[in-house]
Structure 1
Amino acid sequence: MFRSKIIFYFLVCFLCFWSPQVNAFQHDIHKVKADSIFKIYQKTTDDSSRLLLLSELVHEIHYSDSALKYYEEAIFLSDKLNNKELKAQNMNRLGVYYRNMNLQEEALNMYELALELSLGSGEKIQIGHSYNNIGQMYFYKDYYDEALDYYEEAERIFLKVDDQNGLGYNLTGMSLVLSELGRYREALEKINKAIEIREMLGQTRQVMVSKFNKADILMDLGAFEEAENDILKLYEYGITNDKIRAINALEKMVELKIKTGDQQAAIKYANLAHDIHLEKPFSESMIHIYQMMNQVYFNLNDLENAQKYQSLLQAERNIIKSERTKIQLAGLTIKKQKEEIDFLNRQKDLIEQNEQFKMFLSYGLVITLLIITIAYLTVYRALQREKINLTKLSEQNKKIEIQSQDLEKLNKMKDKIFSILAHDLKGPLNSLSGLVKLIQEDNLTKEEFISYIPILAENLGSNNILLENLLVWSRSQMNGLEVNNTRIDIQKLVQKNIEYLYHSGYYKGQIIINDVDSDAWTVADKSMIEIVIRNLVSNSLKFTKQNDQIIISTYYQNDKVIIKVSDEGIGIKRKNLDRLFGSEFFSTLGTHQEKGTGIGLILTKELIKINKGEIWVESEYGSGTTFFVELPKA
């Protein structure tokens, strides 16, 4: 989901500024116009004329790093001249600049300021663009209901002022939100209207973006034949005009053919995309293609080709990581410069205020010192008398607080166990009880009984993990655990638990890869380490989606073996990282709203600790999570 939004955003920028046959020409046109405007701007002294020239200049160079200072100057002149329309316009465009530099919070703040200004001045077109831009930012943050509200408000305004260009952008973005909300028919209506508008305006590249969205929606609806026709048209356009578009179209063809069961066709399109990629690289799409090919060959038991695509996949990921690092560093530089300017302005204001109140503060300081001295002498004797009493009271309070904390911990433990038994374990057992009752009353045929067995097995399988965690954790809290060390083949242990978890309720079609070295052995309690592996992999399954990869691998450090469980899931918010292994139960909903108890990771840490190991986690919200388990090497 997040990946598709990033690709869409990249393609929008790409089609607007970097189309292969027109980019160089368009770039030259923009540069010539920008140079001409800048020369006139340098000779102009009138503020109104300078503001108009700056607004035109940044429109020509808004994809350039040098645009920031001109945006800020244009906004300053807009304030000076009280030109609210141009101020809102430049603030909206500056928000787009921040968004391109991956400064999303700064971009959202700029859009909201532009909206507030536009609402005050009544500039309808800028109000519409502000609503549309804010909706886009909420969409990137996965706040779909909020995003839809802003998009619908922007649509109402664009229709009222008959801004067809703005409406084309608005309906294209809104179709993405409706698709994420599962309202596919409405999404199709919006994207069809966007295509109609953009064709009418002669916006060829924008039409391609809208058709890309439409094919996605059709595939979600299962209309593969219609989607295939649109994708092939996009491929034909791309192979002639835009190789990047061609690769993106082939990515969709590979995905479509896999979904329809035509693996050979999927392989053909993947090879074609690979050839074009060598000529015109586009890592974003090739990562997804290589992932799909890795799984296809894995399913065909062709491990050589599966490993080949795994290597290609890792190479492209390294390229993307490098590019994202460059963008992030550029964004951080801009943010730091902005913070330094703000700091200097604040410092200047403080200096001026200090000069104005310097004498008053001096008098105030003398008076304050006199008051403090008198108060100190007055209170000193009373404090001496109370010191002994306060010390005794403090010691009593500490004892009471420790007792209260222990009691609260025990109550929470008891309540948590009762809650789990009452809710998480009760459902599958009730289902099983109902099935037995139907059999006893002869109300269930053999065929119906057989059809219910997989569902019950899946529910009971997921609850088996929960029950095992609950029992081991409870025993560790009450009586402690006894370690029985043996030599463990980590690769076999991991494979066993992968096969077990394929039948659990957490499995949603993810790609689980056992990349553990065949000679990876450790000395530990086998049952405990098995619980650790099962908890970490099921945790990854909980927070990933279909086709996301989960990789279990190992590496060595000194006399230790490190087990690494990586996923491409939704990641963990920074504020929640420190809570994962704490003493409090903490859990969040999975990608399919799966509930957890919070016991799994607490128990995992305890089991690793008593086996003389360490566990830690690294995660970036929205980009996946990696757990590391360090154990003695056998």
Structure 2
Amino acid sequence: MKNKYYIVVIVLACLLSVGLTSNAQDTLQLNKLQKHYEQGSDSVKLSILLKIIRSPELDNIDTALSLSFKALDMATKMRDSLSMAIAMRSVGAYYNILSRNQEALKYDIEALDLIRKHGDGVQESRYLNNIGEDYYNLDLYNEAFDYYSQSLDAARDAGEELAEVIATYNMGRVLRTMGQNKKAKEYILDAMALSEEIGDLPGIAYAKHDLALIYMSENKFDEALSELDEAYVLSDSLSEDILTPQILVKTATAYDHKGDYRNALKNYDKALDLYKSQNNQSGVGESYYGKGNVTLHMGDVIGAKAYYQQCEKIADDIKDNELMISCYNALSELYEQDRNFESALQYYKKYKQLEDSIFSEKKKEQFAQIQIKYETARKDIEIELLNQKEEQQVAKLKNEEFIRNILVVILAFTAVLLFSLYKNNEKRRKINELLIEQQKEIKSKSKELSSLLEMKDKFFSIVSHDLRSPINALVGILDILHEGNLTQQELKDVSLSLKVRLDNTRKLLDTLLDWAMLQMNEIKIQKEDIELNKLVESNLAYFREVGDKKIDFINSVKGEQMVSADRNMLDLIIRNLVSNSIKFTDEGGKVEVTTEFGPKKSLIVLIKDNGIGMSTDQMDKLFDTNTLYTTRGTANEKGTGLGLRLCKEFVERMGGNIWVESVEGKGSTFKFTINRA
């Protein structure tokens, strides 16, 4: 797509010693930026310059180019390669506008080398596209197509769909210019389809404009006008100031070819008004030239001459050589038809001289580029020859080295005999060290085994005592009931006591079974999305119902928080930790469950109480994998230590961590992490 570059005129007038002017409306902004620039560090000044040279406000190309070079100089001194690339790209863009295409190409290639070091695929695609544009302006269409193709590959790799649209469109534009209409149409239609997919409305307008040019080159003016009408409606609604008058000019040209001169002039007039409002003198001249053609086709020679002369004056003022050539040629033919052969000859000479001059300049630029490619290729060949010489030298050195190696082997063989004796002694020493290490490991394993045996003894003690005691109590009560020695009130009191003991026994059995299954690896994790607030509330509701310590249970978990976990494991973890908090909280105390956001995508669940707390030594023993640590609660409740052990195992199996924070006399907070859904 055609790009137009602008520069803010309101900034740094005296500061940068460049002839900028500002209007009254911009005075405040000028003062603000000037103050920032004067007081800022080098990096701040560079940042302001880079912002200015990319700002789409007013067009002053000479100023823009001067500021771009200033930014490049500052970035080079600061060794800021990314800023250097941005400044070089800006220089290349402004040289492109000034038709200094060879210089533009030089800076764009250097900018590409710098941006590639930063690994930015999106920017690389855009820089490749700029180089393609430089080659296109040099009429080196094969090279332009190659760089547009590289730009497309880079855009696809980076997943940058807009850059992909631009590269695809430009490839079609090059093929259209080369006359390969069928292939060009495929690329332009592909670009338009992708633009529709991503909602790139300007891209659709540009694609339709180029499709129309293809149809016009095939003399299919009705199809061309259909595409141009759609392009105009879209471009006008988007306020695409650059494209809209171009569409009007192409529409006028199509009507001129169809012989519909009224519509042709109507569209040229609309384009002329837009170009004048934009102060686009080149567009104004092009519109006058088109009106001259239509007027001539209508048989109005005097009117056509007037339009051509207006076009000539504008082209001469702005030094638009391409437009000047068209005017000279048209006036030459017009004077010839009017049998004013002297004027016809003068304009024909001007036409040929300027055409030859431009052709020569283009060829010089193309030749310079070809020469650069030749020099590069020659250097590559020289490097290849040097590499071959280096390989030969390496081969020669290898032969000499082989002979030396034979001599070395003879000497080394003798040394090996002595060295082998030394190695044998070293092996013996290492074996002894290994035996010592193994003895240490055996001692460590023995200590671990003793801990496991101790845990086994405690486990069987729990089974034999804590399970047998409530069962014996139940049998005794049943015997008394059988004999009829209990009153109704005594039965009620005993039943309540027995219920509590059996409930504790049930919990103990559940814990023992879970622990046993865990040791046998029978528990499989089945994760699902769980609403944490509801799960916590169901556990707290249970404790509120069976609790006899009158503890205040608080659920501070937010209702919308979802976690990814095994429901049964998470339920057991919360139940055990809340039960543990109850155990060490005095009557009338408080237990609260809440959450905090953890690292990455985790959630920290907190079970806080205001109970008796614990010492550092007690905290160290809680999650010890080799022992079962337990103490009695505030109401003389007993425990096994298996509950916290299970919590640790389950939390870690679900990929989390568990720990405790406590202060003696002020309560404890158990924390564990779990993945958010």
For Structure 1 versus Structure 2, the TM-score category normalised by the shorter chain is: 0.3 to 0.5
Larger Rg: 2
Normalised TM-score (structure 2): 0.45
Normalised TM-score (structure 1): 0.48
Higher relative contact order, chain-length normalized (CA < 8 Å, sep 6+): 1
